[in-house]
Amino acid sequence: MPDKKLMPSWLSLEEALERLLAFFEPLEREERPLLEAVGQVLAEDIVSPLDVPTVTNSSMDGYAIHAADTSAAGRQTPVTLPVDGYVAAGHVYPHPVAQGHALRIMTGAPIPPGADAVVPFEDTDELEQKEQGAQAIQSVRIYHEAAPGANIRGAGEDVRQGQRVLARGTVIKPATAAVLASLGLVTAPVFRRPTVAILATGDEVVAPGQPLGPGQLYNSNSYGLAALVQSYGAVPKLLGIARDTVEAVEERLAEGMEADLVLTAAGVSRGDYDVVKDVLLRHGEIDFWTVRIRPGKPMAFGALVGTDRRGRPRRVPQIGLPGNPVSALVTCELFARPAILKMLGYTQLARPSVSAVFHGSLTNPDGRRTFARAILERRGDSYHATLSGGQGSHILSALALANALVVLPEERPSLRDGELVQAILLDADIPG
Amino acid sequence: MPDKKLMPSWLSLEEALERLLAFFEPLEREERPLLEAVGQVLAEDIVSPLDVPTVTNSSMDGYAIHAADTSAAGRQTPVTLPVDGYVAAGHVYPHPVAQGHALRIMTGAPIPPGADAVVPFEDTDELEQKEQGAQAIQSVRIYHEAAPGANIRGAGEDVRQGQRVLARGTVIKPATAAVLASLGLVTAPVFRRPTVAILATGDEVVAPGQPLGPGQLYNSNSYGLAALVQSYGAVPKLLGIARDTVEAVEERLAEGMEADLVLTAAGVSRGDYDVVKDVLLRHGEIDFWTVRIRPGKPMAFGALVGTDRRGRPRRVPQIGLPGNPVSALVTCELFARPAILKMLGYTQLARPSVSAVFHGSLTNPDGRRTFARAILERRGDSYHATLSGGQGSHILSALALANALVVLPEERPSLRDGELVQAILLDADIPG
């Protein structure tokens, strides 16, 4: 990072993001219980400690036999074999199956030595005997010739001991948790979830639940940012609200020195009370502070340099987000999300986006890339985007209704009804 | 539900789903802290208790003035006004602004009586004076005529007291949490999250972390199902593993009588050891138990009738899922997910699906609707689906790799390379 001069830069989103992401790496490895690890990323390859299935077993309910004994069996020419016994999954039949004999076997039960095929119930007189009230079946008629290996799953057929089952970098989904459990694992080696400290600033900002004085407003940013950070898979830590003095901001930020990332909201513009940038200048390093985007032009990125509670030296990255609620949440999406995903070990850092037909009108007077709050829906095979409400950076309701951000590039001064546009998906469930 | 006869039905997915969903309603209302309520659904309309903003305030850093005093002001003909004082956001200036006077005002600060417009710094000599080293500004030159109301946000301009801000049925997203906080709320009235009890059954099933005997396998279903249930927004409760006796299953299920839904895995087929259906027949009511789908044909739905720990009568819906891991997870997706979402108050119960070009080949020999595990990607404006691995119902790895289920309808015996198919999206992040 450059030195402590506060040079107002004027960066493109790509330049800003590249500088910011260079600061982050996947965090250290930890072992997490499977259910808590969903959404985290494997920090190492998973090699199977066992064969799956562990032993050769039956894939059907039926009779384990020697295949050769069934040659020429047919509906009119059944082969009748004495039934020696009976084995269910989870149990081991203690004898081999002799030539000319059958063993009644249930799905998943180990195939005893001797037997080399399973004849399913429907190819025998099992059901007829049951319907006639037979309690234990003494002998069975086989109506169909069995090929050697029929209805048998070999040991290690699914997974071989020593085989790499999952690669480092795999995102753990519910089915991945099931795969890990099937190997006998109760924890997964994953990159640690980052802790993200969140500080709101402003003399006018009051915590929800408290009475509101004239000219004051409730702290919505901390809750919106914490909810976003949590949705990305990080652990939010609320540092509360700092008044607009360097001392108040410093005091609160000291509690953030244990975190992996600090987000501040407000205080990074050029007003008299924009003290967050002053704190960064005094106690840290500051990088860019203006990006060519709307909403969210005033932005700072830097590092807080200090010590944690135990006195260990720390250099904690800080993103100074703008104070307007929509700007704060959209810039969190654009900058904090990829940073958090990178710390979690993700390699796919961008949200998916689709090409959509735009409905409405939008202007871009000053060449900033504009991220408009929109409702995206699918009609047939095409996507359609409509503005979700007023585009002022204080109008939170339009962001709450939005499931996408429509992107108006720097060089495009306006967007008219029916034109094609890229839309970044904020939600999985796009209606249509 | 019909009476206690075990009639093997042969239902379509739609028939089965309709019968099942008829059992579920949104759960009771509860108040949840905002961050915990993300993903839950509002159980009532949210009406604003206040105007936002609470008072008329400045939308720019500048000077509050009487607009009439700036008439004919221009770069060559500035108007000079004495500056009476200074007010920042969160503070209230205690005097009116007199005609012919100016008040230095910061973004968000309340407009005092008298003033009816704000002239931004850039339309004054503020910067020139600062550059010349002025500490406190005594008088200001105004270079631009201000219209009445300029750069002023009226009280209630965003939200009026008493206005319905969010409707019952709204899913709480991070930006919704911010909206609720902006109204001063610290909790949200939402439909309660369901608790889902999960029981694995089988003599051959062993808990991960324990040693494995011959012919045994690890319990992957409980972990996969719990992770899915959790991803839908419900609270999983693991009931462990029951051995294949009616008594063992009964004993474990007694612990599920506090739950809103019980999921069992295995024991619903027609084998000798499929005791889950016997328990449902003895202690509950049973509805369908075969659905024309692949994977997942053997399925049961019923209700456990009994009492909870405090002796209160309970009738707990139970979905008897098949035991094969892929079948268990796919039927959880198809049946438990919409049931859970309905209890959570969602109205959009189906996953989004898209039309995709199929790559590979797939057959459907017996007229069951087939849900094939596939990797979906976007190329340009079209989606492409490729099978993610073997389609056997024990091959979990293909499900773990999949981000979509390709749907082969009942009447379609096969699917060839290049044909169009519907794909159900399992993930938000479709690459492309």
* pLDDT band at residue A272 under the 50/70/90 scheme: low
pLDDT for B133: 86
pLDDT band at residue A2, thresholds of 50, 70 and 90?
very low
Q: How far is A312 from chain B (nearest CA, A)?
A: 31
Contact B7, B157 (CB under 8 A): no
What integer pLDDT is reported at residue B272 of this predicted model? 66
* pLDDT tens by residue, A398-415: 999 999 999 999 999 999
- Name which residue leads in pLDDT, A46 or A288: A46
Interface test with A, best of B122, B396, B403, B430 (most A CBs within 10 A): B396
Predicted-complex ipTM score = 0.93
Q: What is the predicted pLDDT for the residue at A273? A: 65
CA dist., res. A207 & res. A217, Å (int): 9
Per-residue pLDDT of B112-171, as tens digits, reads 999 999 999 999 999 899 889 888 899 999 999 999 999 999 999 888 999 999 999 999
Contact between B272 and A107 using a beta-carbon 8 Å cutoff: no
Q: Which residue has the higher pLDDT, A43 or B300?
A: A43
The reply to whether residue A203 touches residue B231, judged by beta carbons under 8 angstroms, is no
> Residue B29 has what pLDDT?
98
Report, as an integer, the average pLDDT of A288-304. 85
Average pLDDT over residues B300-314: 90
Q: Taking CA atoms, what residue in A is nearest to B223?
A: A178
Question: Are the beta carbons of A305 and A324 closer than 8 angstroms?
Answer: no
The structure tokens 């056997």 sit at: B392
Give the nearest partner residue to B35 out of A166, A186, A227, using CB atoms.
A227
Burial of A308 (0-12, 13-18, 19+ CB in 10 A): middle
Higher pLDDT, B302 or B297: B302
The pLDDT assigned to A5 comes to 45
Q: Which residues of B touch A394 (CB under 8 A)?
A: 153, 158
pLDDT over 50 (residue B3)? no
> What residue in A sits closest to B110 (Cα-Cα)?
A215
Instruction: Report how far residue A52's alpha carbon sits from residue A56's, in angstroms, rounded to the nearest whole number.
Output: 9
pLDDT of residue B8: 54
Q: How confident is the model at residue B27 (pLDDT cuts 50, 70, 90)?
A: very high
Res A280: pLDDT: 79
In this prediction, residue B186 has a pLDDT band, given cuts at 50, 70 and 90, of very high
Q: What local confidence, expressed as pLDDT, does residue A56 receive?
A: 96
Summary mean pLDDT of chain A: 92
Rounded to a whole number of angstroms, the distance from the CA of B7 to the nearest CA of chain A is 16
Q: What is the mean pLDDT of residues A360-385?
A: 91
CB contact under 8 A, A181 and B222: yes
Residues of chain A with C-beta less than 8 angstroms from the C-beta of B205 = 90
* Lowest mean pLDDT segment, chosen from A51-55, A130-134, B297-301, B347-351: B297-301
Is the pLDDT assigned to residue A73 strictly greater than 90?
yes
CATH of domain A57-153: 2.170.190.11
Q: Which residues of A touch B227 (CB under 8 A)?
A: 34-35, 38, 173-174, 177-178
| Pick from A134-143, B25-34, B97-106, B261-270: least confident | B261-270
CA B233 – CA B39 distance, rounded (Å): 7
Give the pLDDT mean for B43-50.
Answer: 97
Q: Average the pLDDT over B322-329 and give the result.
A: 92
Q: Is B28 exposed, middle or buried (0-12, 13-18, 19+ CB in 10 A)?
A: exposed
Residue A175: which residues within 8 A CB-CB, separation 6 or more?
A: B224, B329, B396, B399, B400, B402
pLDDT band at B10 (very low <50, low <70, confident <90, very high): confident
Contact flag B212-A352 (C-beta cutoff 8 Å)? no
Task: Indicate the class that CATH gives domain A13-27+193-344.
Answer: alpha beta
| Interface size between A and B, measured as CB pairs under 8 A | 279
Task: Find the closest chain A residue to B270 by CA distance.
Answer: A61
The 3-state DSSP class for residue A352 equals coil
In this predicted model, what pLDDT tens digit does every residue of B397-428 receive, in sequence order?
Answer: 899 999 999 999 999 999 999 999 999 999 87
Long-range contacts of B110-114 (CB under 8 A, 24+ apart): B110/A214, B110/A215, B110/B55, B110/B56, B110/B57, B111/B55, B111/B56, B111/B57, B111/B58, B111/B64, B111/B152, B112/B64, B112/B87, B114/B66
**Cα separation, A118 vs A120, whole angstroms:** 6
Res. B276 pLDDT band, cuts 50 70 90: confident
- Which of B54, B56, B58 is closest to B159 using CA atoms? B54
C-alpha closest to that of A360 among A380, A377, A374: A374
Closest CA to B400 of B418, B388, B408, B391: B388
3.30.70.3270, 2.40.160.40, 3.90.1150.10, 2.40.340.10: CATH of B353-425: 2.40.340.10
What pLDDT digit, counting tens, does each position of B343-378 carry? Answer: 999 999 999 889 999 999 999 888 899 999 999 998
A306 compared with A286, residue with greater pLDDT = A306
- For chain B, give every domain's residue range: 13-27+193-344, 33-51+160-191, 57-153, 353-425
What is the end-to-end Cα distance of chain A in Å, rounded?
A: 46
Cβ-based contacts of A214 with chain B (< 8 Å): 54-55, 92, 110
Higher model confidence: residue A296 or residue A387? A387
Cβ pair B208:A185 closer than 8 A: yes
Name the pLDDT band for B298 (thresholds 50, 70, 90).
Answer: confident
* Domain B33-51+160-191, CATH: 3.90.105.10
CATH superfamily of A32-52+159-191: Molybdopterin biosynthesis moea protein, domain 2 (3.90.105.10)
